[in-house]
A and B are shown apart, each in its own frame.
Chain A
């Protein structure tokens, strides 16, 4: 085998492995910062919590009269790991990052009531985007969870 042929094959192999590594690295984020904002929505008053200003337009879609931020929690979740968030009423929310591609992060999310699963969903979010999960009754209203993810 000529020297030039050897060099070419070596370069081919390196190109292939570097490309494969970069592609794998792109699809597997190192850490996903997951933020859960727990909001109580009700029709008991016309109060709108000023801390929810950034979410106002999205929350108004739900047509409740009152929105109050109960809790806000952020966790850095490793790509192969999971994080559990406490939700009022003995509930919990568990989040597993799945993959990251095209600036979108896929999350598997489970809402539990005690040890009992209430809902499982897999959702693909734009990076730094959010979605709303609502419905569990709480304290004369309903809980609304804003779940957002930011890949770092």
Chain B
């Protein structure tokens, strides 16, 4: 059996039909035997009626048809590609999906990095038998010449040796390029 306090606490929910069957029956039984709580019920019902009439009158002033047509238009219209992209990115970078974004970014970076070598690979393929490129020469004080011949793609390093310390003596150390 419910007392007055617990009944008044449950009264709002009881009026809204939110209580389970046993609880609802307990409240109804208490209200039949308690004048004060019955009066509380009446006051609450009056308040609900007054609130409903106010809300109804306010709602009647709102023009709902344009609102619903606008909602319908938003649903049916094709969204812009930027919005689709943002939605997709948001779904990719949310939660555990970001774990798969990490290898994707690594692969992308590797692709960009190896793109350079790929491009230069294609370039070197196009120039097969291209010149050898000399990165450094040190002839220890001797004269040296570097020749690059276009037609045969030949790179020549020619060392002009002085005769000091050499066994051979010849006048043929100078080529006639």
Report B134 CB to chain A, min CB distance, Å.
5
List residues 1-29 of chain A with CB under 8 A from any CB of chain B: 2, 4-9, 11-12, 15-16, 19, 23
Report A151 CB to chain B, min CB distance, Å.
13
Cα A116 to Cα B168 in complex, Å, equals: 16
Q: Which size bracket describes the interface of B in this complex?
A: 35 or more
Question: Which of B114, B144, B158 neighbours the largest number of chain A CB atoms within 10 Å of its CB?
Answer: B158
Residue of B nearest to A5 (CB): B99
B124 touches A141 (CB 8 A): no
A138 touches B168 (CB 8 A): yes
Binding stretch for chain B, among A31-39, A54-62, A69-77, A78-86 = A54-62
Report A92 CB to chain B, min CB distance, Å.
14
Taking A89-B168, A103-B125 as contacts, is the C-beta distance between A121 and B110 under 8 angstroms? no
Query: Is B107 part of the contact surface with A, judged by Cβ < 8 Å?
Result: yes
Q: Which of A61, A117, A137 contacts B156 (CB 8 A)?
A: A61
Q: Which size bracket describes the interface of A in this complex?
A: 35 or more
Report A97 CB to chain B, min CB distance, Å.
14
Report B146 CB to chain A, min CB distance, Å.
9
A8 touches B103 (CB 8 A): yes
B103 touches A137 (CB 8 A): no
Chain B residues in 8 Å Cβ range of A118: 139-140, 142, 159, 161
A–B Cβ pairs within 8 angstroms, 30 of them: A5-B98, A8-B98, A8-B99, A8-B103, A12-B102, A12-B103, A61-B147, A62-B156, A89-B167, A103-B124, A113-B166, A120-B136, A120-B137, A120-B138, A120-B139, A121-B135, A123-B134, A123-B155, A124-B134, A126-B124, A126-B132, A131-B155, A132-B157, A134-B157, A134-B159, A134-B175, A135-B144, A135-B159, A136-B159, A142-B173
B175 touches A123 (CB 8 A): no
Chain B residues in 8 Å Cβ range of A58: 149, 152, 154
Chain B residues in 8 Å Cβ range of A120: 136-140
